Chain A
Amino acid sequence: MLWVDKYRPKTLDQVLVHEDIADNLKKLVTEQDCPHLLFYGPPGSGKKTLIMALLRQIFGPGAEKVKVENRTWKIDAGSRTIDLELTTLSSTNHVELTPSDAGFQDRYIVQEIIKEMAKNRPIDSKGKKGYKVLVLNEVDKLSREAQHSLRRTMEKYSSSCRLILCCNSSSRVTEAIRSRCLNVRINAPTEEQITRVLNFIGKKEGLQLPVGFAARIADKSNRCLRRAILSFETCRVQQLPVGIVISSFTSLLY
C-alpha cells in the first residue's frame, strides 16, 4: 500500500494537520445533525481525508465498508432515453460520486440520480441518523445548468439528505450554491506541518532520516502534502543509503 493511503488519518482524532478544522467538524456532528458542506482548497491539502473522517465520525466504522459500483442509468429526457454510466462508491449511509465524469450530460446526473437517491430514505432507524449523505467531487467542474439544478434539489430534500461538496476553487461554484452550504476552507499545510508529518511517517517506518531531509522535501513539495509523501516514498524505494548527500537526490523530487 502506498504511504499516502497507509498513513491517511481514519478518524478526526488522528488528523495531524488541520486539528482546528477537525475539532470544528467534530462539534458539527455531535448534534445529531449536519448542514450541507462545501470543502474547498488546493490539491493535496486533505479535503478528501477530512470528508472520509467526518463520515466515519457520523456513521461509525460502517462508513468505511464501501462498495464500488458501476451502474448504468437510463434517463428519460423527453423524446429520447440517455444511457449514462457512472461509478459510485457507496456504503449504507453515504454515496459518493463524481458528476462531472458524465461530461456535458452532468445536468441529468444532478437532476435524476441525485433526486432519486435523495428520495430514498435511509432504511434502519434504530439509533441511526435519519439522513443520507451524498458526497459530490469536483463540483467546480460541473456545468452551469447542473449547478442550477443542484440548488433547489438541495433545499427540497434537505430533510432526508445532506450534500458534501468538494472542489478546488470555490470561484467556479455559483453563489447560489455557496450560500446554501457551510463553507469549509482547507488551506494547504505549511512546510513545518509537512515536515512534522514526514518525520512521523519516518518514525513509524523505522527510518533514520538525515538532518534536514524532511524539511528539504517539504520545501520542494510546493505545500502539497500528497506530493511530499509520494516523493518521500520514492526516495525510500530508490533505497538510497540513509545519510547520503541530500542534494544528489533532490532531482527525484520533480
Chain B
Amino acid sequence: MAPVLQSSQPWVEKYRPKRVKDVAHQDEVVRVLTNTLETSDCPHMLFYGPPGTGKTTTALAIAHQLFGPELYKSRVLELNASDDRGINVVRTKIKDFAAVAVGSGHRQGGYPCPPYKIIVLDEADSMTEDAQNALRRTMETYSKVTRFFLICNYISRIIEPLASRCAKFRFKPLSEEIMSNRILHICKEESLSLDAEALSTLSSISQGDLRRAITYLQGAARLFGSSISSKDLISVSGVIPQEIVGALFAACRSGNFDMANKEVNNIIAEGYPASQMLYQLFDVVVKADDISDEQKARICKSFGEADKCLVDGADEYLQLLDVTSNTMRALCNMPQEIGYGT
C-alpha cells in the first residue's frame, strides 16, 4: 500500500523544499534563517506575501532543521485556519504550550535543538482581532521559551502591536526565471517534456505563484501524458481563451447591445467564471492604446464595482452584463449615467 500512497502524493507536497537553503528566491529570509541555524537564536517572525511563495514551507523547514524528527513533535505547535483559533484557544492551548519550559540546548543527532519551542500560526490574518489581542502579552511573557512564527497573506490584517513584536519578512512573487528552473527540475524528475512556449505560458498564467504552477503542471501531466503543450496548460488552468475575451471586447466596441448580450449569454453558458473574465478584460483594457485615459478610468471603475458585487455573491450574468454595458457606454462616448438622487 505504501508505494501507492507515495505516487498519489501531490507534487506540491512531494517537491516542498525540506531545507531552508533550498527555498527559492527569498534571499533575505534564507540568510537570516541560515544564521539562526548556526547561532540557534532567532526572533519572533512574521512572514507575509502572496500565496505560493514559500512562507509555510520556510517555517516548516526551519522547524524541522532546528529540532529534527524526534524532538519536532514536542517542540513545534502548528496551528492553521483549519484548527479552531478563537480567543479560547489562544488563552488555553497556545498559552499552555508556550508556558512549558524545555531542557537546555544540547545538540542531539546533528540538530541544534535550541532551548525554546516554536509555535507556527499559519494564515494568521484569518484570526479574529480579539484572538490577536490575546496573543500580545503571551508573546512577551513566554519569549524566553517560545518563538512565534506568524504567516499571513495580508500584513494589514495583523494588528500593529503584534506586527511590531516580530521581525517582518516579505516574500516576493517568484521571478519567471526562478520559476522556470524549479519547473524544469520537476519535469526532469517526473520525466516530462515541456517546450519553451509551454514553459513561458505556465509562468505567465501562474503569476508568480509556484504552487499554482506546479498544480497546473501536475493536472496537465495527468490528463495529457508526458508531453505538455501550452494549450493543455491553458485548458487545465481555467484561463479564458483570448479569442473569447477579444470577442466580448469587440462587441463592446461595436456599441451594439444585442450583440454584447449574446456574447455574455454565451460566456455564462460556457461556464467561464465572471471574476476571471473581469481580470482578463481588465488586462485588455489597460493595454489598449486607442482608449483615452478617461475612458479607461470609467471602465475600470465599473470593474471594481462588479468585482465587489461578485465577492458579495451577486449574480454573475447580471454583473457581467453591467460591466459590458458600462464599457460600451465609455467606449462609444455615450452620455454618462444620470444620478439617481439628483
Real binding pair? yes
For A152, give its contact among B122, B215, B236, B271 (CB under 8 Å): B122
Select the stretch in B80-88, B170-178, B251-259 that faces chain A: B80-88
In the complex, chain B residues whose CB is within 8 Å of the CB of A196:
none
- Chain B min CB distance to A225 (Å): 11
Q: A42-B269, A148-B123 are in contact. Are A78 and B84 (CB under 8 A)?
A: yes
Query: In which size bucket is the chain B interface?
Result: 35 or more
In the complex, chain B residues whose CB is within 8 Å of the CB of A34:
8
Q: Is the CB of B86 within 8 A of A78?
A: yes
* Bound: A185/B269 CA distance, A: 11
Q: Is the CB of A79 within 8 A of B88?
A: yes
Select the stretch in A65-73, A170-178, A211-219 that faces chain B: A170-178
Judge if A232 is at the interface, Cβ distance under 8 Å: no
Judge if A57 is at the interface, Cβ distance under 8 Å: no
Judge if B89 is at the interface, Cβ distance under 8 Å: yes
Q: A32-B7, A169-B316 are in contact. Are A149 and B81 (CB under 8 A)?
A: yes
In the complex, chain B residues whose CB is within 8 Å of the CB of A172:
310-311, 313
- Chain B min CB distance to A114 (Å): 9
* Bound: A152/B123 CA distance, A: 9
Select the stretch in A6-14, A153-161, A239-247 that faces chain B: A153-161
For A45, give its contact among B89, B237, B271, B311 (CB under 8 Å): B271
* Bound: A62/B9 CA distance, A: 25
Judge if B54 is at the interface, Cβ distance under 8 Å: no
Q: Which of A2-39 contact B (CB under 8 A)?
A: 24, 27-28, 31-36
- Chain A min CB distance to B242 (Å): 16
Q: A28-B223, A78-B86, A131-B8 are in contact. Are A186 and B271 (CB under 8 A)?
A: yes
Q: Which of B231-259 contact A (CB under 8 A)?
A: 236-238
* Bound: A33/B11 CA distance, A: 12
Interface SS of chain B: helix
In the complex, chain A residues whose CB is within 8 Å of the CB of B51:
175-176, 179
Judge if B275 is at the interface, Cβ distance under 8 Å: yes
Q: A27-B222, A33-B8 are in contact. Are A179 and B270 (CB under 8 A)?
A: no
- Chain B min CB distance to A197 (Å): 16
- Chain A min CB distance to B194 (Å): 18
Q: List 6 A-B contacts (CB under 8 A).
A: A28-B223, A152-B122, A159-B9, A178-B238, A180-B215, A185-B271
Contact residues of B with A, CB < 8 Å?
1, 4-5, 7-10, 12-13, 51-52, 80-84, 86, 88-89, 122-123, 126, 209, 211-212, 215, 218-219, 222-223, 225, 236-238, 268-276, 310-311, 313, 316
Contact residues of A with B, CB < 8 Å?
24, 27-28, 31-36, 40-42, 45, 77-79, 110-111, 115, 125, 129-131, 145, 148-153, 155-156, 158-160, 169-172, 175-176, 178-183, 185-188, 223
| Top 3 closest pairs, chain A to chain B, by CB | A171-B275, A41-B271, A78-B88
